[in-house]
Amino acid sequence: MAKVMGTRLQIWTFFVLASACKTPGAENASVESAQHTSGAATALGVEDVPADEAGYIQQLQDLTIDIMKMNQKQIGAPNPVRDVHTKTNGCVNGIFEVDPNLDPSLHTGVFQPGARYPVIIRMSPGAPGIKPDSGVTSRGLAMKLLQVDAVLDQYQVPTEERSWLLPQFAGLQQDFTFLNAEQFIIKDLSRYIIFTKDLANGNPLAAFINPNPFHPIFQPRELKLFIDEVTQKVSNLLGISYFGQLPYKFKDTAFKYRMDPCPSQQPLPTMSSKDPDYLRQAMTETLKDTTVCYAFSIILQKDANIQPIEDSTIAWPSSDKDIAANKPTANRTEVGRITIPPQMISSDAVEQRCERLSFNPWNGLAAHKPLGNMSRARKAVYLAGAANRPSDRGVQTPDEEQLAFLKKYSAYGLAPK
Ligand code: HEM
């Protein structure tokens, strides 16, 4: 399937690039309509909720449960499994440390200067089902900051600033979710439903170009974003950049986040992509003796027209190149570092805990509330997903193995320096 899709991708890529050159009007029309979906929301951090949204969210939720059961059948698993991101490349323990010199204007929620949280990170391909790592797919990273209330106690953050988005899971965790591309590939929920169905049927390209005479589809811009994301060559998941893609509340405005390998990081080992689990092997090899470091940065919303909340296919520029070119609104501020010390990633205990984890961008503080239509949909979808498979449903305290790990790395203890 990966091979067939690879060939199809080449053909479609050619077609899309050719059509994008020949029909600039069509490409512009797509960008235009994307920019106007959030026409009403021109103030910073403000959402724009369309009247028909609840119906789309319900459809997505139902579809998710159907696909979980389909995945279960295909894999022969005893229970439903994740709709997408089904395969685990690996779960790792680490420490998130906020910059001790963080500018006071950026102190909010978990971002307290010098705060240290134990984290658990799960890496997964975005595709449904269990496939060889060499297949075309997005690459996901989900990170859970643990012991959040305990750390915020140390900073005497008032309880009124610590309201939790999901009261049933209050107090413990702040989740952050990432993929390997700057922008989300789909512009709204009606399109996301089409994409989810086609992805589950093994033909995601039909969501972007489909000559069906009754419902023709031509979305060259989304298709280009999709191809860029799923064809990125990855030799080691611990060595690439990851992006939150969607906006989140940040005081009176909004932010997006990203994770990049620290500039000081040495090159990481790679394995032959012929092994169906080569990305797991590369992680295992790396973490035998190497400490991996990531910089966690935020991008603030400065202009609601140029950095829309509701259309996440429009990038909020944050690369070195964008910043050097003085692109309007381009910005990126490193607020913390993630350290992943050497460890064993393939023990039974790690595997079992990893499988039961459930991440949800709504699992966290109201100070970092997810914003925009995709985020609003994710709330219901992720909760339904976790409820329909054996999972800890967001409740995750360090188990014995993690506690032993934290003890071993006592230099990274919870207390501020
Ligand atoms: C409407 C938009 C989206 C929908 C409907 C959606 C749906 C899902 C679903 C159903 C799961 C499985 C969850 C579970 O069973 O626990 C999942 C997992 C995941 N999603 Fe999304 N997703 C969306 C957007 C995004 C975005 C924007 C990102 C990041 C930039 C993202 C990153 C991830 C990651 C990393 C996982 C794996 C979580 C884990 O390790 O358990 N997703 N998504």
CA 222 to chain centroid, in Å, comes to: 18
The rounded distance, in Å, linking the Cα atoms of 375 and 380 is 9
pLDDT, residue 40, reads 53
| Sign of the four-CA dihedral 245, 296, 255, 359 | positive
pLDDT, residue 22, reads 35
183 lines ligand 1 (CB under 6 A): no
Q: Give the confidence band of 360 by pLDDT, cuts at 50, 70, 90.
A: very high
The two tokens of residue 52 are: 């028909």
Which of the given ranges, 19-23, 140-144, 199-203, 396-400, has the highest pLDDT on average?
140-144
Distance 244 CA to ligand 1 centre (A): 11
- The conformation of residue 137, written as its DSSP 8-state character, comes to -
State mean pLDDT over 30-59: 73
Residue closest by Cα to atom 37 of ligand 1 = 85
pLDDT, residue 89, reads 97
State mean pLDDT over 221-242: 97
State mean pLDDT over 165-176: 86
pLDDT, residue 327, reads 93
286 lines ligand 1 (CB under 6 A): no
- Per residue in 280-325, pLDDT (tens digit) is 999 999 999 999 999 999 999 999 999 999 999 999 999 999 999 9
| Sign of the four-CA dihedral 100, 105, 106, 111 | positive
244 lines ligand 1 (CB under 6 A): yes
pLDDT, residue 304, reads 96
281 lines ligand 1 (CB under 6 A): no
378 lines ligand 1 (CB under 6 A): yes
Distance 385 CA to ligand 1 centre (A): 10
For 83, residues 6+ apart whose C-beta sits below 8 A from its C-beta are 64, 65, 67, 68, 71, 128, 385
89 lines ligand 1 (CB under 6 A): no
pLDDT, residue 416, reads 39
Provide the percentage of residues in the chain whose pLDDT is more than 70. Answer: 85
Q: Does domain 2-411 have CATH number 3.60.15.10?
A: no
Q: Is residue 160's pLDDT more than 90?
A: no
122 lines ligand 1 (CB under 6 A): yes
- Per residue in 199-229, pLDDT (tens digit) is 989 999 999 999 999 989 999 999 999 999 9
State mean pLDDT over 16-26: 36
In which element (H, E) is residue 358 found?
A: none
Q: Give the confidence band of 21 by pLDDT, cuts at 50, 70, 90.
A: very low
Question: What is the end-to-end Cα distance of the chain in Å, rounded?
Answer: 51
- Per residue in 110-135, pLDDT (tens digit) is 999 999 998 999 999 999 999 999 99
Mean pLDDT value across the chain: 87
What is the domain partition of the chain in residue ranges?
2-411
Q: Give the confidence band of 404 by pLDDT, cuts at 50, 70, 90.
A: confident
296 lines ligand 1 (CB under 6 A): no
The rounded distance, in Å, linking the Cα atoms of 262 and 240 is 10
pLDDT, residue 341, reads 92
Q: Is residue 83's pLDDT more than 50?
A: yes
Atom index in ligand 1 nearest the CA of residue 358 equals 16
Distance 142 CA to ligand 1 centre (A): 9
124 lines ligand 1 (CB under 6 A): yes
Q: Give the confidence band of 264 by pLDDT, cuts at 50, 70, 90.
A: very high
Distance 281 CA to ligand 1 centre (A): 24
Q: Is residue 415's pLDDT more than 70?
A: no
Q: Is residue 27's pLDDT more than 60?
A: no
Q: Is residue 142's pLDDT more than 60?
A: yes
Q: Is residue 366's pLDDT more than 80?
A: yes
Residue closest by Cα to atom 4 of ligand 1 = 378
CB 58: neighbour CB atoms within 10 A? Answer: 12
> Whole-model pTM?
0.89
Distance 414 CA to ligand 1 centre (A): 29
3-state secondary structure of 266: coil
Residue closest by Cα to atom 13 of ligand 1 = 382
Residue closest by Cα to atom 3 of ligand 1 = 378
3-state secondary structure of 16: helix
Which of the given ranges, 53-57, 165-169, 201-205, has the highest pLDDT on average?
53-57
- The conformation of residue 207, written as its DSSP 8-state character, comes to G
pLDDT, residue 409, reads 62
140 lines ligand 1 (CB under 6 A): yes
